[in-house]
Amino acid sequence: MQIYLPIAEVSVNAFLLLGLGGMVGVLSGMFGVGGGFLMTPLLFFIGIPPAVAVATEANQIVASSFSGVLAHLRRKTVDFRMGIVLLIGGLIGAALGVQLFNALKAMGQVDLLVRLSYVVFLGIIGGLMFIESLNAIRKTRAGAAPTRSKHTWMHNLPFKMRFRTSGLYISVIPPLVVGLLVGVLAAIMGVGGGFIMVPAMIYLLGMPTKVVVGTSLFQIIFVTAFTTLLHATTNFTVDMVLAVLLLVGGVIGAQVGTQIGTKLKAEQLRILLAIMVLAVCGKLALDLLLQPAELYSLGVGGHS
């Protein structure tokens, strides 16, 4: 069934969009990532204009994250206090990121920057997670108890705060900085930032994996809602019809994903996410390295 999208001005198959939304929703619920880093390239691929894809994707992530966070709330696996600290950093970061994005856009090559940052960040994070979770699986097989996070310099910083749900007593500075950095990257790369946030929470802040997913989703809702409003009011690129189709699939998928997530072990969950992140990274790297079939591309004219 073909459907004409009023803002994107293209006609696409409605079931294809529902399917894509569902697939990405499952991943979103399982891993606590918004799924934007997967969905945005997929939308480009089916012919949605990039500006519309990025803006609409933000709107869809709000829905799937909200659906996911409700499931986590019931299980009491959301650390609100940590979420709010991260969010404050995230909003500041997003605002800075948008400024940076516009500055780079004026210089040209913003497309390349986005792709390169995808490849670099996805590569580093995917690689680290993959090695770490392989080691963890090997250790549990060997029967050794998982080592408790060590006492690092981060524990000596001021403004300590107790995060009961996470079982942490750390300074608010690391989470604020993590939120800020993720916010900047999220604005540049046009995604919620969960795929960076989740590993950062696990490895940098030392939060338990179970809490990480819910807290990340909680924070993503607000960052992406903020982005959606920004895009809707400045660029008019949020396509409501596209968003509805994606989110109907997405919210159902997120529920299914959350169920699958609870049945898997933390290490397995992490290794799956690592493989997925590496796969997307590999695809993007190939696009940069191999000669494209069409050397030319079209952009909107007028002096931008």
Partner 1 sequence: MIRFCTIAFLAMFAALPLRAEEVVAGLSQNRISITTNFDGSEILIFGAVKREATIPEGEPLEVIITVAGPSEPVVVRKKDRRFGIWINTAAVEVDSAPSFYSVATSAPWEEVVTDVEDLRHKISVTRAIRSVGAPSEVRNSETFTEALIRIREADDLYQTNINSVDVSQQTLFSTSVQLPANLTEGDYVARFFLTRGGVVLDQHETTIFVQKVGLERFLYNLAHEQPLVYGLLSLFIAIVAGWGASAFFRYLRG
Give yes or no for residue 85 binding partner 1 (CB under 8 A).
no
Binding marks (x or -) toward partner 1, 261..290, rule CB under 8 A? --------------------------xxxx
Q: Please select the residue that binds partner 1; options are 132, 255, 260, 282, rule is CB under 8 A.
A: 255
**Minimal distance, residue 65 CB to partner 1, in Å:** 7
Interatomic CA distance for residues 184 and 44, integer angstroms: 22
List the one residue from 103, 131, 240, 275 that touches partner 1 (CB under 8 A). 240
181 contacts 93 by C-beta, under 8 angstroms: yes
CA distance 249 to 30: 15
Taking the C-alpha atoms of residue 78 and residue 210, their distance in angstroms, rounded to an integer, is 9
Q: Give me 226's structure tokens.
A: 């903020």
State which amino acid sits at residue 130: F
CB closer to partner 1, 81 vs 231 = 231
Which residue from 225, 260, 278, 282 is in contact with partner 1, where contact means CB under 8 A? 225
* Segment (H or E) for 4: strand 2-4
Tell me the closest approach of the beta carbon of residue 278 to partner 1, in angstroms. Answer: 19
Contact criterion met (CB below 8 Å) for 209 and 32: no
Return the H-helix or E-strand segment holding 175: helix 173-189
DSSP string, 53-72: HHHHHHHHHHHHHHHHHHHH
252 is a contact residue toward partner 1 (CB under 8 A): yes
User: Which residue type sits at 235?
Assistant: N
Is 134 or 256 the residue whose CB approaches partner 1 more closely? Answer: 256
Q: Which stretch binds partner 1 (CB under 8 A): 60-68, 142-150, 183-191, 266-274?
A: 60-68
Binding site for partner 1 (CB under 8 A): 1-4, 6-7, 9-11, 47, 59-60, 62-68, 70-71, 74, 108-109, 111-112, 225, 228-229, 231-234, 236, 238, 240-241, 243-244, 247-248, 251-252, 254-255, 287-292, 294-302
